[in-house]
Structure 1
Amino acid sequence: MKTFKLENEPKIETGFKTPEHYFENFSIKMMEQLPTDEPKVISIFQKRKTLILSVAAVLILALMIPILSPSSTNTQELDAVALENYITYQSNVNQYDLISVLETEDINNIKTGIVIEDEAIEDHLSTNSNLENLISE
């Protein structure tokens, strides 16, 4: 194999050369090429204004929901028979509890002058099989 000496061999020229005084004028040229426009400044108050507007919009929508939503409350009035049946069969309210809550005006309004004939009472007692319960009450 042939000996290779680096210093004796002809050197290949690179294809790149720097222009004269390139590094001396580099900073001046670079500063000329920078844009002179000032950066856009965003105000803090602008963000607050947007935040306040968004909160106000949410509050307005929250207040409008009950107005815009259809109400599905169907109130049904209680009739006297249903109320009487409930008190009689479903609750633990006895006659003494009702009397203690009523005022004298209410008690006087309840008293009616219905005249029941003796024959009607006898017919009812003869057909009713719970005579012992009626007597004990």
Structure 2
Amino acid sequence: MKDFNLNNEKIESGFKVPEGYFEQFESKMLNQLVVKNEPKVISLWQNKRVWMTSIAAVLLISIALPVYFSMNDTNTSTVEDETIETYLAMQPTMTNYEIATELTNEDFASLEESLALNNDAVELYLEENYQNVDLYLNE
């Protein structure tokens, strides 16, 4: 590579501008630019269509969700208590142990809540139905 000194030698650029380029530049640029004075048109019908479809979708969802959940609830409906009691009464071969094995912890908890007795209720029941309660308790 050739050594050169920046202070003494002038470096020429590798780019050259064609002759008369800047005299024709302005006219060429204006010819390429197309001036539009027309305003941009925004369709109101298209905007209405978007709003109408979104409103229709919201209405459809608001109607469909309650119907879906109500149908889901009817499909998983539980058997009434009387039907279960009748079934169990008609099954003489089932023992209390077999019945207890079929019940879950939630069933036992609901039974305990429904059969919860307090002392005042028991004493009132015994006083009304048994005349000699004191005799039985003291013996």
TM-score, length of structure 1 as denominator length: 0.39
**Greater C-alpha radius of gyration:** 1
The structure richer in helix per residue is: 2
